[in-house]
Amino acid sequence: MDVEVARNLNHVQRELTVHSSILSANAESMKNLSSRSDERLDYLRERFDGIENNLSVINAVIGNESSKIRMERNRILLLATSLFSAICTAVWFAVVMPLQTEIATLREKVDVIEKRIDWDHTHDPVE
């Protein structure tokens, strides 16, 4: 019986040694995994910080370009409005004003002719 207990004890010790070596290897593996995970996390943080900085630079550039485009659009609108006003004014003075003057002259001539016709109808012609 002592031999059997000793044999069982030796077997348990071997099993314990194997399990403790496996446990030690697993602990070392976890430690390495944790270390690599921290390194990857730091790497990812650096990349995302770089991306964040790049995005802020890109946003600044887009903001500057957007303001330039707005200013250019306003300049173009002002130029178009000025050009339209100049064309309307030129048409007014080149076409409408002479037509109004000509119409006024024609009205005066028609009035004169109407007066003459009225005068001719009111006075008998001499025979």
Q: Which residue has the tokens 């348990």?
A: 12
- For the full predicted model, state whether its pTM sits above 0.85: no
Q: pLDDT tens across 77-125, in order?
A: 999 999 999 999 999 999 999 999 999 999 999 999 999 888 877 776 5
Say how far apart CA 74 and CA 83 lie, in whole Å: 14
Q: Which residue has the higher pLDDT, 57 or 70?
A: 70
Dihedral angle of Cα 33, 39, 41, 42, to the nearest 10 degrees: 160
The first and second tokens of residue 4, run together, are: 């059997």
Given a cut of 70, whether residue 65 has pLDDT beyond it is: yes
